Structure 1
Amino acid sequence: MHTRQYDLIVIGAGAVGENVADRAVRGGLSVAIVESELVGGECSYWACMPSKALLRPAAALRAARDVAGSREAVTGDLDVAAILARRDSIAHEWNDSGQVSWLDGAGIDLVRGHGEISGERVVTVTDADGAVSELTARYAVAVCTGTAALLPDIPGLADAAPWTSREATSVQTVPESLVILGGGVVACEMATAFAALGSEVTIIARSGMLGRMEPFAGEAVTAALRHAGVTVRLGVDVDRVDRDAPDAEVVVTLTDGSEVQAAEILVATGRVPRTGDLGLDAIGLEPGSWLEVDDTMRVGGFSWLYAVGDVNHRALLTHQGKYQARAAGDVIAARATGAPVDDAPWGKHVATADHDAVPQVTFTDPEVASVGFTEASAREADRRIRVIDYDLSWVAGASTHADHYEGHARAIFDEDRGVLIGATFVGPDVAELLHSATIAIVGEVPLARLWHAVPSYPTISEVWLRWLEEYGR
């Protein structure tokens, strides 16, 4: 068996693993990264990038039709073939040669194959031909394997060839009809995309839509989906799923006795960690479990093991995983070289924003952009809060943005500290409003100082002034 030694071994070459490796190399370490699929990972090929490529054309068309003058210039409908071709281009035709070149340029060694932890600081890699090699780490192993779609235990579902987000975002032929199980971000975004692409879409959401966000967000998205022709079934569960033949329709029987038939079924009911075949039992951990970490991303009970990104279940978002990765790569290098580790909450060696300052955009129509606490989560945390709601159509910039702009913004203020701790925006193109709220929350900017952050006129960002006026300071 061939054996090689490095300072750090990273398992998983997605966006998170790449960032851990890059920061560690910049810190002076030698690094190998192990990948069994495509370098660049889920986000590049089956999640963030291809899904947004599918969603953007309909959003751009909507924006043009929302304004007199451009509305009259729109003479056609979406070109589905062109949308899929553009998506293929953005996903690099599922070819990772560009990402591999980046690894080479960054000084990171790529080892192709399935990595499995076989002992302390030891990773055994089996390549596609069955050849086995062994990598040993002088200092650390970082698990960056992410998550996979959760397949619920519904009779008949596994035998019905269900789609996950991977099949949905890489689709080459748009189905005539699609039934989606789930009411979270993936379900809502894919319902938005496939309805625009021409599918007859049904969502079955037992627990409601976007349930972890402010209630008005889920209500707005539900109303918009129904307006777009999507059938939204709430508060009902699936009893069983049947497909008699590979080319037959799927029949979904619901607990109320009704049935839904569709060409394809997409399961978007949650995620599970990709740790089942990682060899965790060799080091006393449970295969298939989430890996609990501290703010430096080190797994509890281990001096050498780190878990970064979705696999640690702190915040299942690419940008948060990359944020964790930068902290982890820096701290691994610092600990390995004996450099001082700054454990202060504002230090670069810790990832603390995952606790209560996580930003997220749901690219539905309307968009939902949120960061920090919701009203419900703030009250659950026993914060003394004041909630300010504002209709975004009342902001002058909204009238220039669209002829009939509809949107809503909520701010959550901590009354004891006089700072913003949560914000949610719902409306067309609100994604770009989010980072200002993120900065205000992370920076703990006092309300008295926010008065001096003057929003440009006429923009939708003027909602910041309206929030402060409503607050009365």
Structure 2
Amino acid sequence: MTRSEVPSGGPGADEYDVIVIGAGPVGENVAERAHASGLSALVVENELVGGECSYWACMPSKALLRPVTALADARRVAGAAQAVGGTLDASAVLERRDGFTGNWQDKGQVGWLESVGLDLLRGRARLDGPRRVVVETHDGTTRTLTARHAVAVCTGSRAALPGIPGIEDARPWTSRDATSAKEVPGRLAVVGGGVVGVEMATAWQALGSEVTLLVRGERLLPRMEPFAGELVAEALTAAGVAVRTGVSVEELNRPAADRPLTLSLSDGGRLECDEVLFATGRAPRTDDFGLETVGCEPGSWLSVDDTLRVTGVRGGWLYAVGDVNGRALLTHQGKYQARVAGAAIAARAAGVPLLETDRWGAHAATADHDAVPQVVFSDPEATSVGLTADEAERRGLRVRAVDVELGEVAGASLYADGYRGRARMVVDLDRGVVVGVTFVGAGVGELLHSATVAVAGEVPLERLWHAVPAYPTISEVWLRLLEAYRG
């Protein structure tokens, strides 16, 4: 037990200003912000400090994907292409990934909690009425805790498996299995065309699996502009992934634990594979959590206002931050919410009126509605922030979408021979500002923050003309987009 880990008892040990349930990046940030404002804070965690992102999502998945894009980038540049050959060393890639997860040990993350003065209690937490949290600790005791000001639920989300016949006996992979597997499966079926499905198909195909990607809809990455999914699908197919759209899994059959499994498909076909990954959605971690004791529905997403306070709970003491509120299931967005929630909790605890709850105020998570950035680390990368053209029109905005082929930008042609990619800027014609941007292409993830600044800052297009991109970089696409807009 480190100094930050609280013992099972002790005078006054069961009352804190703020109790945070969940020690992922979101919970860590809520607790740190509250503590930095002078409030006492306890973090309760049932698994590993650092949460899903550190051990089963962001970090291990990107550790798997970076060697894929590094090798692909080298092969797209004459001279470098001649210096590389062969395939990825799967064992070295998996070993590097394990290093980024700390081999699924949380000593470093616990050290960070200690360094900022936060207390940690390991165990399973349940709400037990207003401001009360009961914890079944890992040492076998039960603790009843009271929060003077706030309880923040930061328990995140889990993979949601569909109710398909045979799925339990088939023992399918979820995203956790896909990012932590110790061996490369010979044949992998990936069900789902969203971010997880696309990224894991990219990674495991490059590591040596024969991958089939099964998508119920007609395109990949359905929440992005249509061309994003089209370009990614073309690249996956060229790499060797069998991409099948308009098909779903209706039944699974695995005769024995050490045997392949068979997928029965909606088109009447069958597919045999060694493992199947279901990347078909997420569910909130609010099961058996005591929500009924505070008037909320067990197992539900927790609806919140823009200060991240749960709506409909009397007294205004309960907050839900990160995935668990269903607003934007992304680690960086959850950390953004955590900063807003921490500031709101501290202000309310001090009796200070929240004067900055309007759009873009210090106590309002406005970006959740208007400026959510996302990078899909496929090859090519697909990135977006703000609204697609269709979303903007559905909101009643009068918009114009401007497209530029990224391969025509000098910096892109230097980045890779035969560079393929596309950029789209969605402009609100009435206000003269950018409300959405999408980039697809190699290395474009590092372009996205410039677009996020433009969207979140509501920078007028006439001012963007004075933001001069360095030559020759891929960022020069901004100049090309503005030129195309002016015609």
Q: Distance in 2 between matches of 1:75 and 1:225?
A: 20
Q: In the alignment, what sits opposite 1:289?
A: 300
Of 342, 346, 355, 1:333 maps to 346
Q: In the alignment, what sits opposite 1:201?
A: 211
Q: Distance in 2 between matches of 1:159 and 1:16?
A: 34
Letter in 2 for 1:248: R
Of 210, 217, 231, 2:221 maps to 210
Mean Cα deviation higher: 82-91 or 333-342: 333-342
Q: Distance in 2 between matches of 1:387 and 1:98?
A: 46
Q: In the alignment, what sits opposite 2:319?
A: 306
Secondary structure class of the residue paired with 2:14? strand
Q: In the alignment, what sits opposite 1:258?
A: 269
Of 461, 483, 486, 1:447 maps to 461
Contact in 1 for aligned 2:372/2:386 (Cα 8 Å): yes
Q: In the alignment, what sits opposite 1:420?
A: 434
Q: Distance in 2 between matches of 1:252 and 1:76?
A: 32
Q: Distance in 1 between matches of 2:63 and 2:89?
A: 13
Q: In the alignment, what sits opposite 1:158?
A: 168
Of 468, 471, 483, 1:457 maps to 471
Of 233, 242, 246, 2:244 maps to 233
Mean Cα deviation higher: 73-82 or 252-261: 73-82
**TM-score, with normalisation over the residues of structure 2?**
0.96
Mean Cα deviation higher: 423-432 or 373-382: 373-382
Q: CA deviation at 1:77?
A: 2.4
Letter in 1 for 2:461: L
Q: In the alignment, what sits opposite 1:344?
A: 358
Letter in 2 for 1:135: L
Residues 359-411 of structure 1: CA distance to partner in whole angstroms, max 9, x if unpaired?
Answer: 00000011001001111111111110011010001111112111110000011
Letter in 1 for 2:216: R
- Where does 1:71-470 land on structure 2 (aligned, <5 Å)? 71-207=81-217, 208-302=219-313, 303-341=316-354, 342-470=356-484
Letter in 2 for 1:365: D
Q: Distance in 2 between matches of 1:20 and 1:131?
A: 26
Mean Cα deviation higher: 114-123 or 347-356: 347-356
Contact in 1 for aligned 2:360/2:367 (Cα 8 Å): no
After the TM superposition, which segments of 4 or more aligned residues of structure 1 sit over 4 Å from their partners? none
Mean Cα deviation higher: 72-81 or 107-116: 72-81
**TM-score, with normalisation over the residues of structure 1?**
0.98
Q: CA deviation at 1:60?
A: 0.3
Instruction: State the identity as a percent.
Output: 61
Q: Distance in 2 between matches of 1:77 and 1:181?
A: 25
Secondary structure class of the residue paired with 1:119? coil
Q: Distance in 2 between matches of 1:120 and 1:436?
A: 43
Secondary structure class of the residue paired with 1:329? helix
Q: CA deviation at 1:347?
A: 2.4
Q: CA deviation at 1:129?
A: 4.3
Secondary structure class of the residue paired with 2:42? strand
Secondary structure class of the residue paired with 2:201? helix
Of 27, 48, 65, 1:55 maps to 65
Residues 223-251 of structure 1: CA distance to partner in whole angstroms, max 9, x if unpaired?
Answer: 11111111111111211011010011110
Q: Distance in 1 between matches of 2:250 and 2:180?
A: 28
Secondary structure class of the residue paired with 1:19? helix
* Number of equivalences: 473
Q: CA deviation at 1:337?
A: 1.4
Q: Is there any run of 5+ residues in structure 1 with no aligned partner, and where?
A: none
Residues 149-198 of structure 1: CA distance to partner in whole angstroms, max 9, x if unpaired?
Answer: 01101111122111100011001011111111111000000000000000
Secondary structure class of the residue paired with 2:138? coil
Secondary structure class of the residue paired with 1:355? helix
Q: Distance in 1 between matches of 2:342 and 2:115?
A: 18
Q: Is there any run of 5+ residues in structure 2 with no aligned partner, and where?
A: 1-7
Q: Distance in 2 between matches of 1:237 and 1:355?
A: 31
Residues 105-162 of structure 1: CA distance to partner in whole angstroms, max 9, x if unpaired?
Answer: 1111100000000111000000234321111100110000000001101111122111
Q: CA deviation at 1:345?
A: 2.3
Q: In the alignment, what sits opposite 1:70?
A: 80
Q: CA deviation at 1:69?
A: 1.4
Q: Distance in 2 between matches of 1:197 and 1:277?
A: 39
Contact in 1 for aligned 2:400/2:426 (Cα 8 Å): yes
Residues 395-435 of structure 1: CA distance to partner in whole angstroms, max 9, x if unpaired?
Answer: 11112111110000011000000000000000001001111
Of 35, 38, 43, 1:25 maps to 35
Residues 327-367 of structure 1: CA distance to partner in whole angstroms, max 9, x if unpaired?
Answer: 10111011101234222323222211000110000000110
Q: Is the aligned partner of 1:472 residue 2:486?
A: yes
